[in-house]
Amino acid sequence: MLTRDARAKERDTAKLAQATAKANLPQPMIIIQPRVAPLLPTKSNSTSVTRTGDSTVPGAAAKSPGTPVSAELRQPIEKNLKTAIESGLSANIETVYTRYEQDDQTKKYFKGIMDKADSVHVKSIVFRSSRQTGNAAQVLYRMTINVMTSASKQPQEVPSVWQADLVRDGPGAPWKIRQLTRRTLVS
């Protein structure tokens, strides 16, 4: 019986030596190359669309760095319209969008939000594309509004996609909103 135990110990010692020898071998290295986002177009009149959550453009859901929409085309939406919406007053929206009273669809949309809300905050505006021809331009953007009601006490996000038709009186003049059209929400 001693010989069986001695042989078992010998086998165990040999297996341990083999395992130790394998552990000292250099381990294969796996290198994972970081994903590189494609270059964004540099022309201000680009019609390419970056969708929120697009797997080829990391971080597209956040602020839109390198957006193809120029600062002067963003201004009537980012500053004027945003401030008017956050005021909660239809009269302020009409100040920046003069056709507001005649635009039943847009008026109904914002009235439905403002009538139910205790506070309205434009959480984000992500510009997708623009097209400019002379003193007229179209801008496509996604806007997310946080709405707080006394019933919920929790802000509720209301996302929407819009096309703004902009006009100006001449080169160098400020852009104004001529028409707002709500588009189908695409993530």
Which helix (H) or strand (E) segment holds residue 22: the answer is: helix 2-23
Write b or e for each residue in 52-72: b if 16 or more Cβ atoms lie within 10 A of its Cβ, otherwise e.
beeeebeebbeebeebbbbee
pLDDT in tens, 141-185: 999 999 988 787 788 899 999 999 999 999 889 999 999 999 986
Q: Which residue has the tokens 């964004």?
A: 40
- The pTM score is 0.62
Q: CATH code at 158?
A: 3.10.450.50
Domain membership of residue 32 (yes or no) is no
Domain membership of residue 27 (yes or no) is no
On whether the CB atoms of residues 158 and 113 are closer than 8 A, the answer is: yes
Q: Show Cβ contacts of residue 163 under 8 Å, excluding neighbours closer than 6 positions.
A: 138, 139, 140, 180, 181, 183
Domain membership of residue 116 (yes or no) is yes
pLDDT in tens, 66-108: 458 999 999 999 999 999 999 989 999 999 998 999 999 999 9
* Rounded Cα gap, residues 63 and 65, in angstroms: 6
Helix-, strand-, coil-residue percentages of the chain, each rounded to 5: 30, 25, 45
Domain membership of residue 76 (yes or no) is yes
Q: What's the token pair of residue 81?
A: 């319209």
- To 5 degrees, how large is the angle CA 29–CA 34–CA 40? 165
Range of the domain at 98: 71-183
Q: How many domains does the chain have?
A: 1
